[in-house]
Amino acid sequence: MSCEEEVAAGTGPERAGTTFGQQMLLLFPLVLGMLGMQAAAGVLGTGIPLQMALSAVSPETIGLVASAYAAGFAAGCLISPALIGRFGYRKALACFVMLQAAATVCLALLPFEGWIALRAVMGACGAGAVVITEGWVNTAAPAEVRGRIFGTVNMLGRMAMVAGQAVAAFPWALGTLAFAGPAVLYAIALAFMVPSVHGHPVTAATRGAGLSRSLSFLETPAVAAVGVIYVGAVGTTLISVAPAWGVLVGMSSAAAAMLTVSVQIGSFVFQGPLLWLSDRMDRRLVILFAAIVTAICALVLLAIPSGHQAPLFLIYALIGGVSLPVYALSFATAFDHGGAVANFRLSSGLLFNWALGAVIGPTVATAAIARYGPEGLLHFLVLTSAAVALLLAGLIRRAGHPNAPSK
């Protein structure tokens, strides 16, 4: 039975009438595997640069290793739909995760220069795994609870990644354990995910698709595409650049690091209410609201005198609280229209757009800081959020009808 037939018959992944709790219970093994992959990615994301820095590797090589992962991730977003269509989602998922585990082990065997190719492979496989798992979660979630389900999964994944990053900071987690631990997590994640999914979501939209079909990410709903590019640019900048901004404005290193923690805490607090709201109104308006609030908060930061640190943490928490959930809101908006037929091509297109924003955002923000000083980061946040808000308002007005989830 095809995915379309299963959905029509009520036996496929999309089960109308199920509650949020029931749907999360059905997805629990898949989500558990996703959390294992996120924790492994967190350990490696922090452990790899730490290992290289402690071994006196040149900054250029460290940068190449980091860029290789991002480049591989973007490439994986493009080629994964074709691989899924050719081999099927189960085989493709197994290959992606097993290659990640194998490449992780090889990190302990090859010199640092070899890590560039390994991280590119891991980025491509990571993108493919995310395309499949997030595509399945969105397909399985009925429209009336899709925002909350995807947002909850996204929030849990972020918590798992932060936990992995924290583990990598301990001295005992360096060395061989830094590679063996994530490899084991990938293997365990695969054991949970592959048997847990039911049905067959590979359809005519992905079957036999080539690279030209994969490039159909340009067909991604406009508001969703803008949203994921925006959160890729702003979210990545908040996580990677905000601590440096804190040091530049005179904060201690510990206090500057807490800015990132404030962003994450704000996201945890506000994501649930925003996604709950998006399940009851036009999701596009919630994304527009998030961009406007982010621009206003950045303007407030510009007006705060130096030396007043307490308001900084609160405002950064609010910025993170409204901007980071745009990722889940954009995916839910796209899948309101994408349906089951194009779920994997849709996921790959959205992830590619997010990766595009994640590459551009920190680059532009740090260039602004270099030219204008610490205020350059805030100018970046204001101008980017204001421009996105204006673009979204135009898109919503042009569409002329609500993008609320269908009932």
266-288: per-residue pLDDT in tens?
888 898 889 888 888 888 899 99
Q: Which of 186-200, 211-225, 322-336 is modeled with the greatest confidence? A: 322-336
**Three-class secondary structure of residue 77 per DSSP:** helix
* Confidence at 213, pLDDT banded by 50, 70, 90: very low
Please report which residue ranges of 141-221 form alpha helices under DSSP H.
146-168, 177-196, 211-214
Task: Check if the beta carbon of residue 205 is closer than 8 Å to that of residue 83.
Answer: no
46 has pLDDT over 90: no
Which pLDDT score, from 0 to 100, does residue 384 have?
96
* Least confident range of 22-31, 132-141, 379-388: 132-141
Segment 231-258 mean pLDDT: 78
The fraction of the chain above a pLDDT of 70, given in percent, is 78
**Structure confidence at residue 127 (pLDDT):** 86
Higher pLDDT, 8 or 263: 263
List of domains in the chain? 3-212 (1.20.1250.20), 220-397 (1.20.1250.20)
Query: What's the pLDDT score for residue 204?
Result: 39
The model's confidence at residue 227, banded by pLDDT at 50, 70 and 90, is very high
Q: What is the mean pLDDT of residues 338-352?
A: 64
Q: What is the mean pLDDT of residues 175-189?
A: 87
Q: How far apart are CA 346 and CA 310, in angstroms?
A: 41
Angle at alpha carbon of residue 324, lines to 321 and 328, rounded to 5°: 115
Distance CA 41, CA 127 (A): 12
CA dihedral 69, 70, 72, 77 (to 10 degrees): 140
So what's the pLDDT on residue 198?
Answer: 55
Q: Which residues contact 170 (CB under 8 A, 6 or more apart)?
A: none
Higher pLDDT, residue 396 or 296: 296
The sign one gets for the Cα dihedral 55, 244, 154, 162 is: positive
How far is the C-alpha of 130 from the C-alpha of 136, rounded, in Å? 10
Which pLDDT does position 296 carry in this prediction?
96
Work out the end-to-end distance of the chain between its first and last CA atoms, rounded to an integer number of angstroms. 24
User: What integer is the mean pLDDT of 370-396?
Assistant: 92
Looking at the chain, the whole-number percentage of residues with pLDDT higher than 90 is 21
Least confident of 36-40, 115-119, 208-212, 373-377: 208-212
Which pLDDT belongs to residue 96? Answer: 93
Contact 83, 92 (CB under 8 A): yes
Residues 6+ apart with CB under 8 A from 103: 118, 119, 121, 122, 125
Give, in order, the Cα–Cα distances in Å from 63 to each of 11, 68, 70, 242.
48, 8, 11, 19
If you average pLDDT over every residue of the chain, what do you get? 78
Instruction: State the Cα–Cα distance between residues 110 and 334, nearest whole angstrom.
Output: 41
pLDDT of 122: 93
Helix axis angle, 253-278 to 146-168, nearest 10°: 160
Q: What is the Cα 45 distance to its own chain's centre?
A: 14
User: pLDDT at position 246, please?
Assistant: 80
The count of C-alpha atoms lying within 13 angstroms of the C-alpha of 325, restricted to the half-sphere facing its C-beta, is 33
pLDDT at 392: 92
281 Rama sector, left if φ>0, alpha if ψ -120 to 50, beta otherwise = beta
Q: Is the pLDDT of residue 232 over 50?
A: yes
Please name which of 14, 27, 7 lies closest in space to residue 196, comparing C-alpha atoms: 27
Q: Which residues touch 388 (CB under 8 Å, ≥6 apart)?
A: 226, 230, 291
> What's the Cα-to-Cα distance from 272 to each of 70, 315, 322, 354, rounded to whole Å?
29, 19, 11, 21
Gap between the Cα atoms of 121 and 256, Å rounded: 33
Q: Are 350 and 230 in contact (CB under 8 A)?
A: no
Residue 214 banded pLDDT, cuts 50, 70, 90: very low
pLDDT at position 59 is 58
pLDDT of residue 219: 55
192-207 pLDDT tens trace: 888 765 554 444 344 4
CA 96 to chain centre: 17
pLDDT single digits (tens) 101-147: 999 999 988 888 889 899 989 989 998 898 888 777 777 777 677 77
How far is CA 17 from its chain centroid? 28
Q: Are 156 and 133 in contact (CB under 8 A)?
A: no
